[in-house]
Structure 1
């Protein structure tokens, strides 16, 4: 087993950077579960050829408070290469005619599906929409001939995210440290995004 890259104790984070702990989780068999009915006024819509501008608006609506930023840094060509790939399935959670949630399933690795993005707009949390969306994600992923279904989350996400994934059948298998430029300081996200994460 190789030595850890970081030694025990504190490590200074350079100015302008943010750091999080990433938890990777997986499942190797479809769990015994029933797909939940959609809450009233809610539906999941497959977007077969996502427009990059539409995608960015929804991505920001769902993820800005959690500092989602990588897709916002892609140009139109780079973003389209991902979200228009036939092996990537993009879904919008439509609530009373407005797109308020995002599910993205990535089948580009053989025999595998990754939840690339999963979330709903913050004002809608606590209404059971997330549990329903996860049941849809599990059902749609295992409807394909996969052997492994996985996801990663981090300490910038909702604090209950790891427990949520574990309750739905995922098992942690790896932890990582990720450091990146603070997207608020780069102007990619609002300076007021994720006030729980200090800007240094």
Structure 2
């Protein structure tokens, strides 16, 4: 029996959201931190895995978790994948990962989140605004994102306040991150 078959399975409700118009308002930069947002060109696999675990473990992110280096690199180093890291006072505070599908006219915020130590400190709305602005730079017809009931309980509300509208729902089973 493998570790995966022994693991606990969690049921969740997934909400798919989209934004079809570029937002007209922006969010001011929080002044309580020295912030830097940097695009991670060809991000190193150990650093990506660190960010993915730090941000995703509390929410049981699983898609990239068990990939070997070759499979992970093939996904995150594609030309249409854009990863940005937020630093607060010199420490990695979160990241977002965009996937741009020019053929379909879609920019997807595939991953977005903050490291637990930086949650609840006034960064999320600013950081999401930066992810949305970056997504619109590719001039898509729409920007999409999804969340589920394992994410922060405030995520869905924040996405909607920032202009995303729910378009569909699904039930899913996700492997718990033990």
Q: Per the alignment, in what secondary structure is the counterpart of residue 68 of structure 1?
A: coil
**Counterpart check, 1:68 vs 2:55:** no
Residue 85 of structure 2 corresponds to which residue in structure 1? 92
**Counterpart check, 1:123 vs 2:101:** no
- Name stretches of at least 5 consecutive residues in structure 2 with no aligned partner: 1-6
Q: Is the 8 A contact 1:24 1:172 kept in 2?
A: yes
Residue 20 of structure 2 corresponds to which residue in structure 1? 28
When the two structures are superposed, what TM-score results if normalisation uses the length of structure 1? 0.80
Q: Per the alignment, in what secondary structure is the counterpart of residue 129 of structure 2?
A: helix
Residue 42 of structure 1 corresponds to which residue in structure 2? 35
CA distance in 2, matches of 1:95, 1:180: 31
- The Cα shift of 1:38 comes to 5.0
Pairs within 5 Å for 1:1-200: 16-37=8-29, 39=31, 40-108=33-101, 110=103, 111-184=105-178
CA distance in 2, matches of 1:181, 1:131: 28
| Runs of 4 or more consecutive aligned structure 1 residues displaced over 4 Å after TM superposition | none
Q: Per the alignment, in what secondary structure is the counterpart of residue 73 of structure 1?
A: coil
Between 1 and 2, higher relative CO (CA 8 Å, sep ≥ 6) is seen in: 2
- Name stretches of at least 5 consecutive residues in structure 1 with no aligned partner: 1-14, 185-200
Larger radius of gyration: 1
Q: Which has the higher mean CA deviation after the structures are superposed, 33-42 or 161-170?
A: 33-42
Bigger strand fraction: 2
Give the RMSD, CA atoms, in angstroms. 1.5
Q: Is the 8 A contact 2:60 2:174 kept in 1?
A: no
